């Protein structure tokens, strides 16, 4: 929001971006690669997605997210945590 006082125009707290039409707003998603970004996403009520990490590392990231969500009083459901993976399917190894 911006405010302006000038010779011809005065305005206070003018919103320069439109408001969302959908209520409640669409879910927010954040791609995370660290426990710090996972915790920050939980505080912001954003769902998270991570990829290309070991199972142990992903488990650590998701645990930190769950703890931060719990501290905020936000329920953490399975549909809030997503893992992206590449899967290749071939007829043979050759």
Per-residue model confidence as pLDDT tens digits over 17-62 = 887 788 888 889 999 999 999 999 999 999 999 998 999 999 999 9
Domain positions in the chain = 26-84
Closest CA to 83 of 19, 39, 31: 31
Tokens coding 14 = 């003018």
**pLDDT for 90 beyond 80:** yes
Cβ(6)–Cβ(25) under 8 Å?
Answer: no
Q: What pLDDT is recorded for position 62? A: 97
Q: What pLDDT is recorded for position 60? A: 97
Q: Write the CB contacts of 64 (distance below 8 Å, at least 6 apart in sequence).
A: 35, 38, 39
Distances (CA, A) of 1 to 9, 11, 60, 61: 16, 10, 38, 34
């Amino acid at each position: 929001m911006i405010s302006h006082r000038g010779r011809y125009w005065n305005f206070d707290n003018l919103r320069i971006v439109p408001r969302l039409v959908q209520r409640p707003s669409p879910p927010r998603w954040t791609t995370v690669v660290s426990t710090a970004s996972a915790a920050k996403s939980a505080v912001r009520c954003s769902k998270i997605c991570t990829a290309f990490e070991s199972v142990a590392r992903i488990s650590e990231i998701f645990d930190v997210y769950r703890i931060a969500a719990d501290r905020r009083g936000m329920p953490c459901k399975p549909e809030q945590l997503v893992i992206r993976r590449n899967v290749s399917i071939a007829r043979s190894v050759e």
